């Protein structure tokens, strides 16, 4: 196998730099959007404002950068603002956002359009949720009943899921 040319190496370096800068911007937006939603009284738990920047990152950057955006966004937000609460919500949300971002990135890299990859990534996030909660109950000692916790979070977040799903169809 031949070595990549100098121009190919430069292009790869440029793409990595672009991915890192964009990933950092999406983490910042993922921290600021919930603050704006809560300040305006729009209900962050309903519209899931942290999820949109993570989804955008997943659709536009490498899966490695997307993974870190999904991981760091809720952790940084929790550390700086207290939202989401550190336990048990932040680790649960971090796993969900990692799945969302990595699924979107990998689906997009297969050549799928944004309009196909975004809903599939959202579906992956929803599909993984029961497994996350099954692990979270014993590991994080979630005191709320498992069934009630899943039902409440799905009922509370459905407007955000719909907004994520249909915001990409309007573009």
pLDDT, tens digit, 9 for 90 and up, residues 96-122: 999 999 999 999 999 999 999 999 998
**Taking the CA atoms of the chain, what radius of gyration do you get in angstroms?**
17
Are 73 and 91 in contact by the 8 Å Cβ rule? The answer is: no
Cα–Cα distance between 67 and 90 in angstroms, integer? Answer: 15
Which pLDDT score, from 0 to 100, does residue 171 have? 46
pLDDT, tens digit, 9 for 90 and up, residues 64-82: 999 999 999 999 999 999 9
Are 140 and 92 in contact by the 8 Å Cβ rule? The answer is: yes
Are 31 and 76 in contact by the 8 Å Cβ rule? The answer is: yes
41: left (phi over 0), alpha (psi -120 to 50) or beta: left
pLDDT in tens, the chain (171 residues): 678 888 889 988 999 999 999 999 999 999 999 999 888 887 766 778 999 999 999 999 999 999 999 999 999 999 999 988 888 889 989 999 999 999 999 999 999 999 999 999 988 988 888 888 777 767 777 665 656 666 666 666 666 666 655 555 544
CATH 1.10.340.30, applies to 6-167: no
Model pTM?
0.81
Which pLDDT score, from 0 to 100, does residue 44 have? 65
């Amino acid at each position: 196998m031949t070595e990549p040319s100098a121009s190919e190496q430069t292009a790869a370096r440029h793409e990595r730099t672009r991915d890192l800068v964009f990933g950092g911007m999406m983490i910042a937006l993922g921290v600021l959007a919930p603050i704006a939603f809560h300040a305006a009284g729009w209900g962050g738990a309903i519209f899931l404002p942290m999820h949109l920047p993570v989804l955008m990152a997943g659709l536009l950057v490498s899966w490695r950068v997307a993974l870190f955006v999904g991981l760091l966004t809720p952790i940084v937000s929790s550390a700086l603002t207290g939202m989401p609460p550190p336990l048990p919500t932040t680790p649960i949300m971090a796993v969900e956002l990692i799945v969302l971002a990595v699924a979107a990135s990998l689906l997009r890299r297969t050549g799928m359009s944004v309009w196909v990859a975004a809903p599939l990534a959202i579906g992956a996030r929803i599909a993984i949720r029961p497994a996350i909660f099954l692990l979270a109950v014993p590991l994080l000692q979630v005191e709320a009943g498992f069934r009630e916790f899943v039902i409440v979070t799905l009922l509370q977040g459905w407007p955000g899921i719909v907004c994520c799903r249909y915001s990409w169809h309007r573009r």
